[in-house]
Structure 1
Amino acid sequence: MWLKYGVNEEGILICIEDITRGKTSLKCPYCNSGLTAKKGKVKEHHFAHNDQTCRPIANREFPTLPLYDNFNIQLSGKDLAQLKLLWKEYGVKSYPISSYLVTPGLLKAGMLRKNVYIRPPAYKFTNLGKIPIGTLELKLFNEVQEPLLLKKLLKLKLAFDHAKYKNAPDLAYRLTDLKLYRAQFKRILSCTLYFLEVQTDKGILYKIGVTTRPIKDRLAEIKLDLAAHYQTVAIKVLGTWLHRGNVELYFKHRYRNFNYPIGSLTEYYKLQIEDVKIVLSDLQQMLPKLLSQVEIDILEENTNWEQVAV
């Protein structure tokens, strides 16, 4: 977990992806310390404190979106390895999993559930359990993630309300938690997911990505990026999905074996014809995103912090 947002002079939260690297005029949303944008090629892009890192950031206590950029679901390394093994040996073939192979950690995390229709009792994968290994379809991923996004928002709202009622010393932290989470939520709702076919003089590539601008503006940038690597570039839009910024990183996780980095460009994929059909079907089966009133309020920033309405 890295800090991805800083506060500008107007009190607006600014995402790390919207500024250039180096020292900034932004402040930490928790302690008001100056921030430096770290945007290298190894670690995730993030903000670092110019001075000593404050407690919420140092201890990773600030809120992040569930199942957005971390798909291990807080499993231990041992449990994650066991989950992958169980999928390879049993899940792929939909075989029942004997109880002696199931660890308490996997059950506690909701990765497996008992199959009550067979004897002796055995276990099978839940939809949540398929996410760490990237085998859950995109449509079902949305069905798992979306309730978690709203549940966490409600939890943060209740924590803020409680701190406000008690006039607790951590009231400012609770308000910052809520603002930071809503900013992250707004960003994924504001994005359009796109999937492209890119014909070059060296073959066909595919690209996944998100944008908050008209797709034609993004295509112009992509052509410019690829000009350094290919003599000819022709791009075809295979699909766009409104308000689906939540899916991009899970797509990369799910189809990581097809990833084809081009220099520092990491969102490209090499796919055979049959693979393209599978990927497109996966994307096209996603239901159109219907915004709830909560999500509309987040997008339109309909918030009175004296009486926060979630």
Structure 2
Amino acid sequence: MTMWLKYGVNEDGILICIEDVNRGKTSLKCPYCNSSLTAKKGKVKEHHFAHNDQTCRPIANREFPTLPLYDNFNVQLSGKDLAQLKLLWQEYGAKNYPISSYLVTSGLLKAGVLRKNVYLTPPEYEFSDLGKVPVGALEFRQFNDVQSPLLLKKLLKLELAFKHAKHKNAPDLAYRLTDLKLYRAQLQRILSCKLYFLEVETNIATLHKIGVTQRPVIKRVAEVEIDLLAHYQTVAIRVLASWEHRGNVELYFKHRYRDFNHPIGSLTEYYKFNADDLKIVLCDLQQMQPKILSQDEINILEENSSLIQVAV
């Protein structure tokens, strides 16, 4: 799996996301090696920063940290195990049938995507909540329950790695610090975003849009209307709901409901549901619990980086 550098550092030492800059050469620097960066924002690969000179070791070796279950939902399965998991879902999971042990690989068990159902005789297997993520079958409420502890567990792991390197005065101390900064910046971004779901009435059809914003949703709606008026004669937008601190859900929504995606030119966040499907989607979204921030998350939102400040 390719991992892309999504953040550069400005002249004030602040991490800037690829989505907040224009394409082309930038004044930003690599957070690892201080090399100048170019923003690559095409239509094929994920938006990312590329080094203007030779790519540095942490980037070349793909060592920098990313958020668990945020923009990749394959739960680190090999291609073979992922294909087997999808097949098992089609044949068994989607029908709620038990899975015989001879169909289960060690890789699937090690990844925790299947679990033994001991109430069956002989014991057979079923999908775990984590196992439903790659196939987009896990509801949003449960998805948050699975992802949230993984996000904080990885934060703790990076903090401990940095503290250990600092205590040992290890040669990779600067890399460990940058890993921690990058991860905190990614967490801050998704926590600071509202998730919103819009109903869009046009002169041709009714569509729906998922998205995130750090501003009032009504301001984003005005921009959406301008975008759509380039494609339709009339546009009327209604905000069906929004959720604070739920920027983590947007990409999983796109994964879960990808079969209903309805691109409009270069606009990709639009969906076309029939009445029955829309009821399911709304129920799925509305069952999400309000996000209750942990103290670590509050600190990150408030940019309370005492650990980093002490290190610097």
Superposed pair shares fold, TM > 0.5: yes
User: Which residue number in structure 1 is paired with residue 72 of structure 2?
Assistant: 70
Deviations 1:25-48 (A, max 9, x none): 000000000000000111110000
Match of 2:42 among 20, 40, 43: 40
Q: Distance in 2 between matches of 1:71 and 1:268?
A: 21
Q: How does 1:18-167 map to 2 (within 5 A)?
A: 18-167=20-169
**1:189-200 superposed matches below 5 A:** 189-200=191-202
- Tell me the TM-score normalised to structure 2 length: 0.98
Query: Take 1:166 and 1:299, find their aligned partners in 2: how far apart are those partners?
Result: 30
Aligned equivalents of 1:176, 1:78: Cα separation in 2: 34
Using the TM superposition, give the Cα deviation of residue 71 of structure 1 relative to its aligned residue in structure 2, in angstroms: 0.3
Distance in structure 2 (CA, Å) of the matches to 1:215 and 1:150: 27
Aligned to 2:232: 230
Q: CA RMSD in A?
A: 0.8
User: How big is each residue's C-alpha offset from its partner over 1:201-223, in whole Å with a ceiling of 9 and x where there is no partner?
Assistant: 11100000000001111011101
Output one character per residue of 1:105-124: Cα deviation in whole Å (capped at 9) or x when no partner.
11111110111111112101
The unaligned stretches of length 5 or more in structure 1 are none
Equivalent position of 1:181 in the other structure: 183
Identify the match of residue 276 of structure 1 among 275, 278, 284.
278
Percent identical pairs in the alignment equals: 78
Matches within 5 A, 1:222-261: 222-261=224-263
TM-score, normalising length: structure 1: 0.98
1:307 Cα deviation from its structure 2 partner: 4.5
- Give how far 1:306 is off: 4.9
Distance 2:276 2:198 in 1: 16
**CA–CA distance in 1 between the matches of 2:299 and 2:88?**
42
Structure-1 separation of matches of 2:310 and 2:88: 48
Aligned letter for 2:212? V
How much does 1:195 deviate? 0.3
1:56-79 CA distance string (max 9 Å, x none): 111110000000000011111211
CA distance in 2, matches of 1:232, 1:56: 49
Equivalent in the alignment of 1:295: 297
CA distance in 2, matches of 1:264, 1:93: 36
Paired position in structure 2 for 1:7: 9
Q: Which moved more, 1:86-95 or 1:248-257?
A: 86-95
Distance 2:168 2:60 in 1: 26
Q: Give me the whole-angstrom Cα distance separating, in 2, the residues matched to 1:203 and 1:64.
A: 38
